[in-house]
């Protein structure tokens, strides 16, 4: 499964990416997480991007692309990936297409989370994260049971990301409208865009996503596995994506099997016929030999009779 999640900051991509990664056993590759990690480890890259990130602006396309490429190439991404927060600009999407093309593993779907802008603002401004275990909450929509205390690890360090503060949120939303929203058209033109309603209960949204993935990506993967294992589908085996409904019509493997059975049947028939013919010939040959022997016996008998008759005649004479 090779999928990208698209949507405004706070639309729930990160939460859903984690759930998807768990269910489909593929890595979640989050450009924001990778960059934040670089910042917290104080690497060269981290130092370069720290202030840009805090301001809510986007880091350069090259930096973002390089940050995710290594993960995309890694062994753990062989079964697929969920890309979260990347690409965020058209040049990033083009780079992604090119690199995945080199790996012969093109993107399958772009899932766009649609959400009311007012909700987007509340989701980002209200977001809190546990500094210890990473659990996330929202002041407005999903606060912890005890105010300020993490339900998972009991830590009191529920913090707001620097770029979730008001001025940064404004800049991030502007960057989204300016640079990221055009990707909706980009992926629609590739027939890869699917929209998921981003509002509602987390598990309900996840259910809607799984429906899309299970009907549109997994049959394709089954097809790829089938091709790899030599059990190739006929081109009309599946009605894909178009109606959102998948219909299994038949395998080329099925007809190959039928053809195989036919060949075996014909072989048996031919063998039986050949066997009968041989047996027939044997019988004919046996009968002919018997006739010959009988004839010879008759001839011999006649000769003996003739000889004894002539002997009698000579004795008389
Ligand atoms: P996120 O966690 O996805 O909201 O990303 C946090 C910040 O990291 C963004 O506001 C950007 O500054 C930076 N960032 C993450 N991904 C990208 C990207 N694909 N392109 C440019 N900047 C990014």
Task: Assign 273 to helix, strand or coil.
Answer: helix
Question: 218-228 and 202-216 are packed helices; what angle lies between their axes, rounded to 10 degrees?
Answer: 40
For atom 2 of ligand 1, the residue with the nearest CA is 32
Query: Mind listing the pLDDT tens digit for each residue in 172-183?
Result: 999 999 999 999
**pLDDT for 225:** 53
Say yes or no to pLDDT of 240 above 60: no
Q: What is the mean pLDDT of the chain?
A: 83
Q: Which pLDDT does position 230 carry in this prediction? A: 55
Provide the pLDDT for residue 167: 84
**pLDDT tens digits for 134-154?**
898 998 888 999 999 999 999
Cα separation of 227 and 247, whole Å? 18
Instruction: Say what the pLDDT of residue 162 is.
Output: 82
Residue 313's pLDDT band (boundaries 50, 70, 90)? Answer: low
User: Could you give the domains of the chain?
Assistant: 2-221 (3.40.50.300)
Helices in 143-251 by DSSP H: which ranges? Answer: 166-175, 182-189, 202-216, 218-228
Q: Model pTM greater than 0.75?
A: no
Look-up of token digits 């753990």: 76
Asked if the model's pLDDT at residue 252 lies above 70, the reply is no
According to the model, what pLDDT value does residue 223 have? 55
Q: Please give the positions annotated as active site.
A: 13, 88, 127, 161, 172
Q: For residue 73, how far is the Cα from the chain centroid? A: 17
* Residues ≥6 apart with Cβ < 8 Å to 26: 1, 20, 77, 79, 80, 81, 82
Measuring from atom 14 of ligand 1, which residue has the nearest CA? 32
Cα 184 to Cα 84, 134, 138, 207, 258, distances in angstroms: 15, 30, 27, 22, 45
Residue 67 has pLDDT above 70, yes or no: yes
pLDDT at residue number 246: 37
* Residue 53 CA to ligand 1 centre (angstroms): 7
- Which pLDDT belongs to residue 247? 36
Q: Strand 127-130 relative to strand 158-159: parallel, antiparallel, unpaired? A: antiparallel
Distance 210 CA to ligand 1 centre (A): 25
**Letter string b/e over residues 190-226, b meaning 16 or more CB atoms within 10 A of that residue's CB:** eebbbbbebeeeeeebbebbeebbeebbebbbebeeb
Which pLDDT score, from 0 to 100, does residue 296 have? Answer: 80
β-sheet bridge partners, residue 6 = 112
Nearest to 123 by CA among 4, 16, 258: 16
Confidence of residue 42 (pLDDT cuts 50, 70, 90): very high
pLDDT of residue 299: 75
Predicted local distance difference test score (pLDDT) of residue 262: 58
pLDDT tens-digit readout, 182-192: 999 999 999 99
pLDDT in tens, 196-230: 999 989 999 999 999 999 988 866 565 555 555 55
Pair of tokens at residue 313: 């005649």
Mean pLDDT for 300-316 is: 69
The CB of 10 under 6 Å from ligand 1? The reply is no
Q: Which of 34, 57, 64 to mutate to test the pocket of ligand 1 (most atoms within 8 A of CB)?
A: 64
22-42 mean pLDDT:
94
- Tokens for 89, please give them: 């600009």
Q: What percent of the chain has pLDDT over 70?
A: 81
Which residue out of 85, 110, 182 has the highest number of ligand 1 atoms within 8 Å of its CB and is therefore the one to mutate? Answer: 85
Which pLDDT band holds residue 260 (cuts at 50, 70, 90)?
low
Task: Check pLDDT > 70 for residue 243.
Answer: no
* Calpha distance 56→49 (Å, rounded): 11
Centre of ligand 1 to C-alpha 172, Å, is 9
Q: How far apart are CA 219 and CA 246, in angstroms?
A: 8
pLDDT for residue 226: 55
Q: What is the pLDDT of residues 156-170, one digit of tens each?
A: 999 988 888 888 888
For ligand 1, atom 11: residue with the closest CA: 58
Asked if pLDDT for residue 254 goes beyond 80, the answer is no
Residue labelled with tokens 């934040």: 36
Atom 10 in ligand 1: residue holding the nearest Cα: 56
User: Is the minimum distance from the CB of 9 to ligand 1 under 6 angstroms?
Assistant: yes
In angstroms, the CA 230 to CA 147 distance is 58
Q: Does residue 52 have its Cβ closer than 6 Å to ligand 1?
A: yes
């Amino acid at each position: 499964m090779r999928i990208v999640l698209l949507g405004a900051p706070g639309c729930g991509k990160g939460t859903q990416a984690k759930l998807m990664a768990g269910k489909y056993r593929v890595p979640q590759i989050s450009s924001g997480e990778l960059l934040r990690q670089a910042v917290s480890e104080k690497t060269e890259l981290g130092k370069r991007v720290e202030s840009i990130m805090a301001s809510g602006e986007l880091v350069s396309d090259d930096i973002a692309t390089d940050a995710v490429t290594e993960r995309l190439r890694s062994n753990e991404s062989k079964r697929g990936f969920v890309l979260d927060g990347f690409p965020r600009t058209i040049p990033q999407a083009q780079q992604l297409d090119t690199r995945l093309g080199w790996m012969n593993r093109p993107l399958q779907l772009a899932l766009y989370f649609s959400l009311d802008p007012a909700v987007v603002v509340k989701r980002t401004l209200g977001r809190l994260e546990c500094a210890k275990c990473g659990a996330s909450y929202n002041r407005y929509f999903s606060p912890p049971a005890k105010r300020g205390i993490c339900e998972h690890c009991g830590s009191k360090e529920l913090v707001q990301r620097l770029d979730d503060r008001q001025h940064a949120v404004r800049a991030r939303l502007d960057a989204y409208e300016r640079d990221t929203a055009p990707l909706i058209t980009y992926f629609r033109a590739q027939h890869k865009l699917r929209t998921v309603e981003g509002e509602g209960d987390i598990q309900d949204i996840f259910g809607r996503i799984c429906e899309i993935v299970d009907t549109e990506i997994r049959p394709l993967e089954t097809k790829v596995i089938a091709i790899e294992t030599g059990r190739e589908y006929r081109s009309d085996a599946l009605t894909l994506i178009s109606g959102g409904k998948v219909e299994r019509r038949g395998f080329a493997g099925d007809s190959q099997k039928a053809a195989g059975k036919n060949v075996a049947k014909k072989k048996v028939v031919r063998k039986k016929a050949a066997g009968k013919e041989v047996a027939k010939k044997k019988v004919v040959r046996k009968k002919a030999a018997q006739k010959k022997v009988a004839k010879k016996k008759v001839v011999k008998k006649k000769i003996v009779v003739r000889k004894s008759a002539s002997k009698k005649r000579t004795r008389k004479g």
